[in-house]
Amino acid sequence: MNTTGKVIRCRAATHWKPGAPLAIEEIEVAPPKAKEVRIKIVATGLCGTEMKMLANPNSHNNYPIILGHEGAGIVESVGEGVSTVKTGDKVITLFLSLFLPQCGECASCLNPGGNFCVQFKQSKTGLMSDGTSRFTCKGKPVYHFGNTSTFSEYTVIKISVTKIDAVAPLEKVCLISCGFSTGYGAAITTAKVTPGSSCAVFGLGGVGLSVIMGCKAAGAARIIGVDVNKDKFEKAKEVGATECINPQDFEKPIQEVLFDMTGAGVEFCFEAIGNPATVAGKAERTSLNWFLITWQRSL
């Protein structure tokens, strides 16, 4: 059935109020307007961002809201002015669209050194550019999360999507929307890891593993993974870590252990735990170059 230009009814995990669990609701998704794309979401990741927002009642003010930002799916229809994707294309939501949607046409978007779109301003209102929502539930407007809202069977976002290979497994590439690009990009783009350098990566979850892959791709000679869970060491070494250590195995502070291991301290250090205190506690006493990985640290 052709749904172009029509309201689509589907299910979405809706967050109604602070502290409440997500509720699976039937919602209505309006057609995309100019510079917008409506996507059938096939797979979505569950990022730590959502976990923290659900645990912290004060993390956002607009309710009800549909969360989710690591999405992969198929374009159902496009609005006026969209030429980069078409109906039927496999796409992933762009990580930058979470808070920095991009038109791909203005001087800032076309500049390799810039990413703050002139046409699409950063929005914290949970609404689209025209000040309205494309979601409704039980007669009430439902807010968007960061221009993505991938916890829905269908979503409407600004043009910030990219076409991917038709054979790409959507349940895997959805992680490129955030987790992989955050870690890999932190090493390649933000830190600009140099060939032959030494690196330490604190936290060997999905983002930390992506950092390791970025460090390896950049040509780092030594990549030390740091985590209290030794079960993660094998996977870290598979993707490029040269060695892994557990801080609990040492009496010395971990920064002193790293100094002793390398003779001078590593040249690049990444915090992929999500705890700024890790950086604050170490950077004061070492000469390490720290890169706190947050949503800004993208590819």
- In eight-state DSSP terms, residue 29 is E
Tell me how far apart the alpha carbons of residues 243 and 237 are, in angstroms, rounded to a whole number.
Answer: 7
Active site residues: 47, 50-52, 69, 103, 106, 109, 117, 178
Q: What are phi and psi of 180, to 5 degrees?
A: -70, -50
Is residue 258 within 8 Å of residue 224, measured between CB atoms? Answer: yes
Q: Round the CA-based radius of gyration of the chain to a whole number and report it.
A: 21
In degrees, to the nearest 5, what angle opens at C-alpha 184 toward C-alphas 205 and 90? 95
DSSP result, 64-130 = SEE---EEEEEEEEE-TT--S--TT-EEEE-GGGGT----S-SHHHHSTT----SSS----SSS-TT
